[in-house]
Amino acid sequence: MANGFKGSWTKKFFKEVKSSRLYGDFYYNQELTSHGVFGVHQKRLFGKEGGCPCGEQLETIEHILLKCKIWGKERDDWPKSWLQKDISDLVFYSPFKKGSIDILKKLMSSRLIS
């Protein structure tokens, strides 16, 4: 949660937060809203632990996609410059979108199993 205000994560990408602006892909919408199986969202909604299994205190979507060592193998083919950028510079870039959706699918699958 960037600053505690409703829609603050989504406002990184859009000036106004509107539910009518959903993009149709379940995983990509989680990326744009930060709502999903991510620790920080689960903590905020359900009071669960917000930490990442890698040991990071808060498991945010940005942590998962750009920093988490658990998903490092999935990022091996990504340009290293992506890891230095802000997620708002990457989220609409088609190759990043595809790679991030792949990670989110694997994350969701791993959470459903455990």
Assigned domain for 51 exists: yes
11 in Cβ contact with 17 (< 8 Å) = yes
Helix axis angle, 94-113 to 26-33, nearest 10°: 100
Of 2, 57, 3, 77, nearest in space to 68 by CA:
57
Domain enclosing residue 49, as ranges: 24-113
**Domain count along the chain:** 1
**Per-residue pLDDT tens digits for 61-77:** 999 999 999 999 999 99
- Is the residue at 84 inside a domain? yes
Higher pLDDT, 69 or 9: 69
Q: Which of 9, 60, 87 lies closest to 51 in space, CA to CA?
A: 60
Residue 77 lies inside a defined structural domain of this protein: yes
pLDDT tens-digit map of 22-51: 556 888 888 887 888 889 888 888 888 999
* Residue 103: inside a domain: yes
Look at residue 5 and tell me if it is in a domain: no
- pLDDT at residue number 2: 40
Looking at the domain assignment, is residue 67 inside a domain?
yes
